[in-house]
Structure 1
């Protein structure tokens, strides 16, 4: 993602942290999707054109199936809700970083122009939008980056919370996502019916720039990697994945695999948003190999572990799924995304797949010509 820097003011960040403090003490017995707080959205996180918007705090699940509190932004279209309520689009956002000040409902999207245009299209089509912060972003604990099942819980529980809170929302919903969020949307598509229960009516999903089979690539990380120049954002993604593994599997001793250089950068990634971290990596130009003292492959059955953690489901979809991929996308491994679509088709999954002559960022809005009618048909 070629993205602009988003810097939340210290006042906004402090207010967000304080607002979550009472929610963090909510009892674990509260069901997932239970609303525990409502507050105003910062201007940076408010979608232009929304008639009203709020920030929800709600109960959900994080790594290890542990209960947590997280948050979401909710946007409403202009006008009177139709009979039955506004249909809901659950927005699964792309990478913003790991620090609490990076949370979508605090700082807004990382790619502002791109994402506001995209979400504005859905809003103008008459959908309310529920944009989940993933667990550990803007709330207690660390964010388990690319932990697909945890992110699916967060997205589904945000819809539960929003439909519980607002009578103007329909219980019919679809999920859309980009990049990290495309992975979250795909996992959500696989588990939405199971996680949502009888009170939600899940219709289908959309993912663009899907990070498929990343486990096949990241398993090769280690000190023997040649010092090939990667974009600063790709290096940031590797650090975020290592942080997610450390959060999800503390017994792995991820820090023990790293050099002093690697540990320093991993600690920085733990609090840095993608824009500033990318800038720092671009200036320092550390190689991936320089960060490792031992290879990831020294972990027993590392591929199996990584596949369990981030491997996209290849079957079990009970509603239509749309995937869009830019053929010039270098932020995800495009051949692997093409392979993933082929695997779904071979497995007779209800997938619709389109490619576009664009890069990672360009695919988001280029896909709307196909995804808007696809989603409309889901609700028809």
Structure 2
């Protein structure tokens, strides 16, 4: 313990104003880290590295504490000296390798908080400590362990948690050091005589640490509660979605079905279904979906075959699993569909519900899932579906709807499409992905896209296209659904880890990723009439980006009714009060009635 005594003696020999400056520096640095936890990764690494070293120095000097038993001794407790060495070593390591990844930097500090917390709790049982010092040490140690565990549980947003907690710890320790230096509770030098052990310090000096420890524990418990709420809300995939041993080779066959009641409108019957379809390679696969029909009537219902908007790319993000199975995918008018006497068939797509990778924004398997859901629903007892079919799709589903129209005649000739309604479709994929950095929350969709393409295409890698500091966050985003609270927290981290909000390190329109995006632009070979709806105020899928898609369709001779709704954004375009909705129902009813369409390509604004 000679080293510990020398360190403590050296620090106590410094003038009080020097010790106050050291404490004040800790306060300022901690405040900077707390206020700017989402600063650029390289800058944050330097701040935390310096903070770790400063923490080690303060730890060797007593960690801001002045236990009466320690005041009367030149000894530095072994645990405190050990943590001082650990903190300083970690700080030197972070400064020496400022290019650490998010995960590495967060683990360095997170593990340090846990170790320090455990040692602090153990030290609370020392017989030489006063009652208030024991309580403070136990509470502060417990808070440190909680914060450390939270950091390790949140691998993507852990840097924010660690930065805020670590910065707050620096502030507390720094303030206590400033207090002791100013009030003279610590000896000015090693020559000073120790205060009498029977003279209790002032009440504030005795209980300041305990009060700070209680507050720290309260914050830790609050952070734990917030963490639990953020981690909650993720659906659980049940056995319904597991494929049986004997799966039919033929696509579009119903495997199983069961009644479904969640958010189903009055006057309707619903089922969730599991059925066969085809993946990108042409192999047999299994997908799930929902079927809703009117409860009363003679049957022979015309079918709205729905392709939902983005819900996520993880298995648990199937609309049939979500708390709001229809609105989560931007279907806001299901009651009106049922009132019209129409049936509703909605695929979850591959990989949402069923255990395979979801082909997000990848056209062929999305279209086959839409078509095969329609074919499988026809086998459902009690559904009594008719022959008429119109495909609707919004956003991701709008692109899938266009792909469905292009592939239907060849892939499922028995499903005669009467029309395709593509609403704000994700069709011009290179332009869409290139535009995402300019969109609030666009990084979510960018993360979904690059993760899915990298998982499905061998020539696309996240390492090549994603910024190094954001790769962990991208993977975490891909493991959550769009509706989960934790997704927003991940985006906050993602935006803060770079000096600009861009997710990608490379231009997404170039290289293998760009080529794959281009090949998933829907073909112009659609024989059914197309209603192409677009919001003029859509900031995610902008109207101008649709022009190449429209030009290609019209040049190929497709019948396209292009309608722009000037004041409507991306999701408001399909909400129940949108002027699109009555027009969509009128257009669909005309298709079910077999009415002829007008000119090949028309444009109108509303």
Judge same fold: TM > 0.5, yes or no. Answer: yes
| CA distance, structure 2, for counterparts of residue 72 and residue 256 of structure 1 | 35
Residue 187 to residue 6, structure 1, CA distance change in 2 (3 Å): farther
**What is the match of residue 38 of structure 1?**
257
**What is the match of residue 182 of structure 1?**
398
Instruction: Pick which of 270-279 and 153-162 moved more.
Output: 270-279
Could you tell me how far 1:378 is from its partner in structure 2? 1.2
| CA distance, structure 1, for counterparts of residue 556 and residue 388 of structure 2 | 27
Residue 373 to residue 230, structure 1, CA distance change in 2 (3 Å): closer
1:158 paired to 2:370: no
1:345 paired to 2:554: yes
Could you tell me how far 1:247 is from its partner in structure 2? 2.6
**What is the match of residue 316 of structure 1?**
525
Could you tell me how far 1:319 is from its partner in structure 2? 1.0
TM-score, reference length from structure 2: 0.54
Residue 213 to residue 379, structure 1, CA distance change in 2 (3 Å): same
**What is the match of residue 275 of structure 1?**
483
Q: Deviations over 1:289-312 (max 9, x none)?
A: 764455546635x5433211x212
Unaligned runs of 5+ in 2: 1-228, 594-606
SS of the residue corresponding to residue 298 of structure 2 reads coil
Could you tell me how far 1:42 is from its partner in structure 2? 5.8
**Bigger relative CO (Cα 8 Å, ≥ 6 apart):** 1
| CA distance, structure 2, for counterparts of residue 115 and residue 294 of structure 1 | 31
Residue 376 to residue 230, structure 1, CA distance change in 2 (3 Å): closer
| Higher share in strand | 1
SS of the residue corresponding to residue 252 of structure 1 reads coil
**What is the match of residue 49 of structure 1?**
266
| CA distance, structure 2, for counterparts of residue 18 and residue 118 of structure 1 | 30
| Higher share in helix | 2
Q: Is the 8 A contact 2:402 2:526 kept in 1?
A: no
| CA distance, structure 2, for counterparts of residue 296 and residue 355 of structure 1 | 28
SS of the residue corresponding to residue 379 of structure 2 reads helix
Q: Is the 8 A contact 1:70 1:134 kept in 2?
A: yes
Residue 178 to residue 217, structure 1, CA distance change in 2 (3 Å): closer
Q: Is the 8 A contact 2:265 2:334 kept in 1?
A: no
Q: How many residues align?
A: 356
Instruction: Pick which of 368-377 and 257-266 moved more.
Output: 257-266
Q: Is the 8 A contact 1:50 1:75 kept in 2?
A: no
Pick from 348, 354, 372 the counterpart of residue 563 of structure 2. 354
Q: Is the 8 A contact 1:211 1:333 kept in 2?
A: no
Could you tell me how far 1:50 is from its partner in structure 2? 4.8
**Where do residues 1-380 of structure 1 align in structure 2 (5 Å cutoff)?**
13-14=235-236, 16-21=237-242, 23=243, 25-27=245-247, 29-41=248-260, 43=262, 46-82=263-299, 85-107=300-322, 109=324, 112=327, 115=330, 117-166=332-381, 168-198=384-414, 200-218=415-433, 230-232=439-441, 234-276=442-484, 278-284=487-493, 285-286=495-496, 291-296=503-508, 299-300=511-512, 302-308=513-519, 310-313=520-523, 315-357=524-566, 358-364=568-574, 365=576, 366=578, 367-380=580-593
Could you tell me how far 1:256 is from its partner in structure 2? 4.3
Could you tell me how far 1:105 is from its partner in structure 2? 0.9
Could you tell me how far 1:178 is from its partner in structure 2? 0.8
Could you tell me how far 1:156 is from its partner in structure 2? 0.2
| CA distance, structure 2, for counterparts of residue 8 and residue 67 of structure 1 | 34
Instruction: Point out 4+ residue stretches in structure 1 off by more than 6 angstroms.
Output: 5-8
SS of the residue corresponding to residue 106 of structure 1 reads coil
Could you tell me how far 1:236 is from its partner in structure 2? 0.6
Q: Which has the larger radius of gyration?
A: 2
Q: Is the 8 A contact 1:172 1:201 kept in 2?
A: yes
Q: Is the 8 A contact 1:149 1:187 kept in 2?
A: yes
SS of the residue corresponding to residue 591 of structure 2 reads helix
Unaligned runs of 5+ in 1: 222-227
| CA distance, structure 2, for counterparts of residue 112 and residue 134 of structure 1 | 16
SS of the residue corresponding to residue 483 of structure 2 reads helix
TM-score, reference length from structure 1: 0.84
SS of the residue corresponding to residue 363 of structure 1 reads helix
SS of the residue corresponding to residue 104 of structure 1 reads coil
Residue 274 to residue 50, structure 1, CA distance change in 2 (3 Å): farther
Q: Is the 8 A contact 2:309 2:397 kept in 1?
A: yes
SS of the residue corresponding to residue 361 of structure 2 reads coil
Q: Is the 8 A contact 1:95 1:181 kept in 2?
A: yes
| CA distance, structure 1, for counterparts of residue 551 and residue 515 of structure 2 | 21
| CA distance, structure 2, for counterparts of residue 116 and residue 51 of structure 1 | 16
Residue 295 to residue 360, structure 1, CA distance change in 2 (3 Å): closer
Q: Is the 8 A contact 1:220 1:295 kept in 2?
A: no
